Structure 1
Amino acid sequence: MSDIEAPAVVRVNTNEKKDDSSSSSGNRSYTAGGSRDPDDMVRRRLKQRHIQMIAIAGTIGTGLFLNSGFVLATAGPAGALIAYILVGSVSYATLCAVCELAAYAPISGSFPLFAARWVDPALGFAIGWNYFYTAAIGVPAEITASSIVITYWDSNLNHLPIYIAVVVFFVIGVNFLGVKYFGEAEFTFAIIKLTMLTGLILLGLIIDLGGGPDHDRLGFRYWKNPGAFNQLGLEPTKPNLDRFLAIMSSIVQAAFGFAGMEIVAITASEAESPRRNVVKAVRRVFWRIFLFYICGTLIIGMTVSSNDPRLLRQTGTAAQSPYIIAMERAGIKILPSIVNAGIFTSALSASSSVMFAASRILYGLGLRGLAPRWVSYCTKDGLPIAALAVCSCFPWLAFMAVKSGSSQVFTWFISISTLGIFIGWWTINLTFLRFWAACRVQNVDRNDKSRFAYKSPFQPFLSIWAILWTTFFILVNGFTVFYKWDVSKFLTAYINIPIFIVLYLGYKIVYRSKIPALKDADLVTNIPTMEETERPEIPPTTILGKIAAVLF
C-alpha cells in the first residue's frame, strides 16, 4: 500500500535529522506531517533561471516553427489566430492550476501524485502511466525531428542513422550528467530559441511593413485575398460549416505546439526555493505565450498567404517554416540556414526535456508504490538512475524512422501518444477542482501566504473552462476519420481513451481504491513547509543582476 492511501494523520518524527537530498538548502527532514518524504532522494539543484526558461521554452520543438504553417494553411490567418488564442487560454489555465498544486506541494511525483491524493489513487496510477508512456514515446519523435532537420544541409539519407545516434547519445548523456547540467543545457537552448523567435517575429513585422529587400508593404493583404478563413473541404456545399471544421481541425493541431508546458511543475521537486521560482515562472509565462504563440501566429498570417503551396511541404526542415517562406518571398537569402540551426537546437532541447519529464514521473510512481519500487532508486547525488535507465531504452526507437515500413508503425505510436497530452491536461484541472473543494471543506484559506505561495486566479472557473475544452480536444482529436473511414487512423486517434480507462479500472478493481471524502483529503502528509524549501531571496545589486532579475 502506498503512502498516498494512508489516512491524513500527522505523525511528526521529533528526532531531527539532516536531509541529504536537500542539504544544499539546509532543509530538515521528518518522516511525515508537513515535511519532506524521507524516501525522496532527489536534490534541489535547479536555479531560478533554469525554471524560468523551462517554463516557456523547454518543450518548444519543431512544432511551433514548422507546424504553425500547416495550421495557417488549414484554417487561414484568422482561423489560425483563433485556434492559438483558444488553445493558449486552455494551456495557461492548466499551467495556473498545476503550478498552484506544485507550489503548495513541491514533491516528487507531481500531478499524478496529486490526483492520487485528492481524487482517487486509481486516477493517479492511470494518469501517471499515461503521461509516462506519452512522454517516453515523445522522446524518439523529437530525436527523429532533430535528425531530419540536419538533412537541410546534408540530403544523403544514408547518413541519417549516424545523426540519430549522435542525438540519442547527447540526450541520454545530458540527463545522466544530473539535473544541474540538464538545467544549464536547457537554459542555453532556451536562450537560443527565444532569441530566434523574437528575431523572427520582428523580422516578420519588418517584412509586413515593407522593410524587406522588395519593399512590398503587405499589411493585411492576405486576410482579404485569399481570405481570413479557409475551408477544410469536408463540407464543400456548406461553406460556413466547412470553415468551422477547418478551425476545429487547426485547434487540435495547434494544441500539440503547447504540449509539455506542465513540465515546469515536474521540476518543482528538484528546484531551489521551488515555491518562489515556480510562482515567478507561471506569472511571467502569460506574456511569453502572448508574444511567441499569439503574436507569432498573427505575423505569419500577415506575411504568408494561406494558399501558398510551400506551407504544405513536409520536409521537416527550415524550408517548411512559414518564417522562411516569408523571407524567401521578400528576397532575403542569408537567414534560412541560421533558422534551421535554431530549429535543430529546439528539437534537441525538447528531446531532453521530455526525457527528463518521463524519468521523473516514473520515479515518482515508484516512490509512491504505483510502479515497481526499484525504479525509485537514486544515486548518492540524487540522480534517479533506475528511472533514467528505463527511459533510456525509448530514444533508440528513433531508428524505426530510417526504414519506410517501420516509420509507419512509428507514426502510429506517436499518434497514440499525442492524445495523452490532452488527457493529462484534463486530469490536472479535475485534480485542482478537487483540491479547491477540499480546501473549502477543511477551512483551509488559500489566501494564507504561509501555506500558499501562489493562488491560481479566477478559480474554479479557469479549471472548468480548461476541462470543457480538453474534453472537446479529446473527442474531436480524429474527427476527420468519420468523413473518410480509416480503421488505423481511428485507432491511433482514439485508442488512448480505452487504455486510460483500463488502467484506471484495473487499479481500482485490484486494489479496491476509493475516492476520499473531501473532508478526508490529505493536505498535510510529506508536504514540506515554506521554511524547509525556501532560501532567503537576495536582491541584485548590479545592473546586470537587476536586468537578469526582470528577465528570469
Structure 2
Amino acid sequence: MSESIYIDKEFNGNGYSTASLEKGVTSVTVVDEVPDSRYNFDAADLDQVQRRLKQRHVQMIAIAGTLGTGLFLGSGKALSTAGPLGALLAYALVGSVAYASLCSVGEMTAHAPISGTYPHFAARWVDPAYGFAMGWNLFYTSAVSIPVEITAAQIVITFWDAKPGHAAIYTGVLVLCVCAINIFGVRWFGEAEFVFAIIKLSLITGLIIVGLVIDLGGAPNHERLGFRYWKDPGALNTRADLTGNIGLGRFLAMVSVIVQAAFSFQGMELVAVAASETESPRRNISKAVRRVFFRILVFYLLGTLVTGMLVPYNDPDLLHDTGNAAQSPYVIAITRAGIKGLPSVINAAVLTSALSAGNSFLFCSSRILYGLALRGQAPRVFSRCTKDGLPYVAILFAGSFTFLAFMNTKESSAQVFNWLVNLSTVGGFLSWLGINITFIQYYRGKKAQNIDRRETAYYSNLQPYLAMWGVFWCLLFILVNGYAVFFAFNISDFLVAYVNIPIFVSVFLFWKIFKRTKAWKPLEMDFVTGIPSMEETEVPEVPPTTIFGKIAAIVF
C-alpha cells in the first residue's frame, strides 16, 4: 500500500482513510464502509479561492512588489551609514539571497500552485510542525507590517501637511483604502497593484535617468559630478563610535546596511502566495521568477549606484530623518541642481508605494491564514469564502491589525509601536531561511524518488547551491540583526532584536509535541496528493498578433 500524506479528512474517494499531513501520519488502512459524501478528499477541490489574477498582474507584482519606501527613502540612510561602495555591496549581497529564496519558492510553487504556499510546503516536505511555525511566523510578520506601512504613508504626507492633529485623520483614510481594496476581491487587488507597480516603475526609472543626467552635468547648474563623492569624503563610511578602528568601523557600518537592505527586499515572495489565485500559475510565476534577476540588477543595484554618485554620505540633509521625500538623496540632488517641482511628484509616488506595500501585506497575511485554516492549523472559521472565492473572514481578521497604526498618532504609544515594528523584522529572515531549507528537502525527496525536476514549469540549474547560499546568509542575518545592542547593552533592545527566535522555536515545539509530528524522510514525501495537474491549472497561451500585444508580452 502506498503511503498517503493528506489533509485532515476521514475518507478518500477510493475507500481509504486518509492521514493528516499536519499530524505527520503516513499509514493508511482499507475500510469497508462507503465514504461519506460530505467529505471531499481532494485538497485542491477544498481550496475555494478562484484564479482571477492575470498574467500582467503577476508580472507587475513580481517586478515592483518590493519597490517601496525601503528603496526610495532607505537608500539615503544606507548611503549615510556605509558610504556609496558599502551600500552597493550590501544591496548586492542581500539581492543575491533574495534571488536564491525566490528561485527556491518559485520552483516549489511551479510544482504545487496551491493555497498555503511555502508554509504548507514546509509541512509537506520538512516537518508538519515546521510548517506550522513558518505559517504563523509569516502571518504575524505580514499582519504587523500592515500598520507599519500605513504609518510610513501617513508620515510621507507630512511633506505637504505637518500639522500633528491631522495624523489620525490621514491614518483613518489610509486604513479604509487598504481594507477596501482587499474586501472588494482579488481582481481589485490585482488591478490596484498593477497601477501601483506602474507608478513605482515609472518613478525609479525616472529617478535613475534624472540622477544620471544630473551626475553628467545636464542639470540647469551644469555641474558635472561623476564619481567625485567616491573620492571625497570617500567610498566607505565608518561607525562614528569606532573611528579609532577604521577597519572594524567600516565592516560594522556595512553590516548595519545589510540588515536594513534585507527589509527592502522582503516581500518579493508575494508572487508565490498569490499562486492559488493566478491564471495559469505555473507559466506566469515561472516567467516572473526568470525575470527577477535583471530587475534586481537594474532597479536595486543601478539605483543604489546612482544614489551614491549624487550626494556625499556626510551630507547634513541626508542625515536628517524626516520619513518623507525630503530625506531622499534624489530629492536633495534635484533641489540643489535647480530642478523645480519634482520633489512633490516623488513624494506622491512614494506615498503610493507605502500604500501598495500595506495592501500587499494584508493580502499576504489573509491568504496565509486561509491556507493554515484549510489544513487544520488555524481555526476553521478562517477558511470560509464567499461564492466568488474571497476568504472574507481571514481578510477581516488580518485587516483588524491596520488599527495598530493609530498607536503611532499618540506619543504615549509610539514606543510600543516601534517595538512591534522591530519584532516583525526577524520574521522576514526566518521566512527566507524556511524557504531555502524546505527547498533542500524538496530537492532530496525528488532525487530519492527519481522524479525529474526538469519536468516542472520552472527549475534552476544552480540548485541546490542557491538554497544553500540562502540558508547560510539568512542564519547570519538573524544572528547579526541586533549586534548594535552589545555596544550599549540593555535588556529591552536585546529582547526586541532576538525574541522572535524563541517564539518561533516555542511554536514549533508546541505543534511537534501536541500533534506528535515527525520529520519527513525523502522516500516518504508526497509530491502528488492534492496538487492540481497542468491540465487543471494552465490555459493555452494565445500568441499576440498586434504590435502593442507583442510589446506587452515582452514587458509582462
* TM-score scaled by length of structure 2: 0.93
C-alpha separation between the residues in 1 aligned to 2:278 and 2:28? 27
Q: Residues 50 and 388 of structure 2 are in contact (CA less than 8 Å); yes or no, is this contact kept in structure 1?
A: yes
Compute the displacement of 1:486 (Å): 2.2
**Secondary structure of 2:181's aligned partner:** helix
Q: Residues 318 and 327 of structure 2 are in contact (CA less than 8 Å); yes or no, is this contact kept in structure 1?
A: yes
C-alpha separation between the residues in 2 aligned to 1:10 and 1:304? 70
Within the alignment, does 1:496 sit opposite 2:500 as a pair?
Answer: yes
**Secondary structure of 2:73's aligned partner:** helix
Compute the displacement of 1:38 (Å): 1.8
Counterpart in the other structure of 1:27: none
Compute the displacement of 1:399 (Å): 0.3
Compute the displacement of 1:10 (Å): 13
Compute the displacement of 1:371 (Å): 0.6
> Superposition pairs for residues 164-313 of structure 1, below 5 Å?
164-313=171-320
Counterpart in the other structure of 1:314: 321
1:45-64 CA deviation, whole Å, 9 max, x = no partner? 00000001111312432111
C-alpha separation between the residues in 1 aligned to 2:358 and 2:501? 25
C-alpha separation between the residues in 2 aligned to 1:466 and 1:176? 35
C-alpha separation between the residues in 1 aligned to 2:104 and 2:414? 37
Counterpart in the other structure of 1:332: 339
Counterpart in the other structure of 2:473: 469
Q: Residues 8 and 523 of structure 1 are in contact (CA less than 8 Å); yes or no, is this contact kept in structure 2?
A: no
Compute the displacement of 1:143 (Å): 0.4
> Superposition pairs for residues 56-75 of structure 1, below 5 Å?
56-75=63-82
| Partner amino acid, structure 2, of 1:263 | L
C-alpha separation between the residues in 2 aligned to 1:215 and 1:414? 43
Within the alignment, does 1:533 sit opposite 2:552 as a pair?
Answer: no
1:199-221 CA deviation, whole Å, 9 max, x = no partner? 00000001110111111111110
Compute the displacement of 1:9 (Å): 7.7
| Partner amino acid, structure 2, of 1:189 | F
Counterpart in the other structure of 1:24: none
Number of residue equivalences: 529
Compute the displacement of 1:235 (Å): 2.8
C-alpha separation between the residues in 2 aligned to 1:202 and 1:486? 45
1:347-379 CA deviation, whole Å, 9 max, x = no partner? 111110010000000000000111111111111
Within the alignment, does 1:93 sit opposite 2:100 as a pair?
Answer: yes
Counterpart in the other structure of 2:26: 7
**Secondary structure of 2:242's aligned partner:** coil
C-alpha separation between the residues in 2 aligned to 1:311 and 1:131? 33
Counterpart in the other structure of 1:373: 380
**Secondary structure of 1:394's aligned partner:** helix
C-alpha separation between the residues in 1 aligned to 2:492 and 2:128? 33
Compute the displacement of 1:405 (Å): 1.6
1:258-313 CA deviation, whole Å, 9 max, x = no partner? 01001100000000000000001011111111111000000000111011111122
Counterpart in the other structure of 1:146: 153
Within the alignment, does 1:430 sit opposite 2:427 as a pair?
Answer: no
**Secondary structure of 1:148's aligned partner:** helix
Q: Residues 10 and 525 of structure 1 are in contact (CA less than 8 Å); yes or no, is this contact kept in structure 2?
A: no
Counterpart in the other structure of 1:15: none
Within the alignment, does 1:420 sit opposite 2:420 as a pair?
Answer: no
**Secondary structure of 1:439's aligned partner:** helix
Counterpart in the other structure of 2:550: 546
Counterpart in the other structure of 1:134: 141
Within the alignment, does 1:382 sit opposite 2:389 as a pair?
Answer: yes
C-alpha separation between the residues in 1 aligned to 2:25 and 2:354? 41
Compute the displacement of 1:320 (Å): 1.0
Counterpart in the other structure of 1:358: 365
Compute the displacement of 1:489 (Å): 1.3
* More divergent stretch after superposition (512-521 vs 328-337): 328-337
Counterpart in the other structure of 2:57: 50
* More divergent stretch after superposition (147-156 vs 134-143): 147-156
Within the alignment, does 1:124 sit opposite 2:131 as a pair?
Answer: yes
Q: Residues 54 and 187 of structure 1 are in contact (CA less than 8 Å); yes or no, is this contact kept in structure 2?
A: yes
C-alpha separation between the residues in 2 aligned to 1:322 and 1:351? 24
| Partner amino acid, structure 2, of 1:346 | S
Q: Residues 62 and 289 of structure 2 are in contact (CA less than 8 Å); yes or no, is this contact kept in structure 1?
A: yes
C-alpha separation between the residues in 1 aligned to 2:271 and 2:279? 13
Q: Residues 425 and 470 of structure 1 are in contact (CA less than 8 Å); yes or no, is this contact kept in structure 2?
A: yes
Q: Residues 146 and 402 of structure 2 are in contact (CA less than 8 Å); yes or no, is this contact kept in structure 1?
A: yes
Q: Residues 59 and 349 of structure 1 are in contact (CA less than 8 Å); yes or no, is this contact kept in structure 2?
A: no
Give runs of ≥4 in structure 1 deviating > 4 Å: 8-11
C-alpha separation between the residues in 2 aligned to 1:239 and 1:356? 45
Compute the displacement of 1:488 (Å): 1.6
C-alpha separation between the residues in 2 aligned to 1:156 and 1:434? 54
C-alpha separation between the residues in 1 aligned to 2:125 and 2:464? 16
1:30-55 CA deviation, whole Å, 9 max, x = no partner? 844xxx62211000000000001111
**Secondary structure of 1:227's aligned partner:** coil
Counterpart in the other structure of 2:33: none
| Partner amino acid, structure 1, of 2:488 | K
C-alpha separation between the residues in 2 aligned to 1:198 and 1:257? 17
Q: CA separation of 1:359/1:463 partners in 2, compared to 1, >3 Å: closer, same or farther?
A: same
Compute the displacement of 1:461 (Å): 0.6
**RMSD of aligned residue pairs (Cα, Å):** 1.5
C-alpha separation between the residues in 1 aligned to 2:166 and 2:272? 38
Q: CA separation of 1:55/1:9 partners in 2, compared to 1, >3 Å: closer, same or farther?
A: farther
Q: Residues 25 and 517 of structure 2 are in contact (CA less than 8 Å); yes or no, is this contact kept in structure 1?
A: no
Counterpart in the other structure of 2:524: 520
C-alpha separation between the residues in 1 aligned to 2:441 and 2:467? 11
| Partner amino acid, structure 2, of 1:216 | E
**Secondary structure of 1:277's aligned partner:** helix
Q: CA separation of 1:284/1:10 partners in 2, compared to 1, >3 Å: closer, same or farther?
A: farther
C-alpha separation between the residues in 2 aligned to 1:234 and 1:443? 56
| Partner amino acid, structure 2, of 1:209 | L
Counterpart in the other structure of 1:482: 486
1:477-518 CA deviation, whole Å, 9 max, x = no partner? 010110111222111111100000000111111111100111
Q: Residues 119 and 431 of structure 1 are in contact (CA less than 8 Å); yes or no, is this contact kept in structure 2?
A: yes
C-alpha separation between the residues in 2 aligned to 1:432 and 1:326? 44
1:452-479 CA deviation, whole Å, 9 max, x = no partner? 0000230111010011001110000010
**Secondary structure of 2:520's aligned partner:** coil
Compute the displacement of 1:8 (Å): 8.6
Counterpart in the other structure of 2:163: 156
C-alpha separation between the residues in 1 aligned to 2:86 and 2:102? 24
| Partner amino acid, structure 2, of 1:145 | A
Within the alignment, does 1:40 sit opposite 2:47 as a pair?
Answer: yes
1:304-342 CA deviation, whole Å, 9 max, x = no partner? 101111112221111011110111221212100000000
Structure 2 gaps of 5+ residues are: 1-6, 9-19, 31-39
1:372-393 CA deviation, whole Å, 9 max, x = no partner? 1111111110000110111111
* TM-score scaled by length of structure 1: 0.94
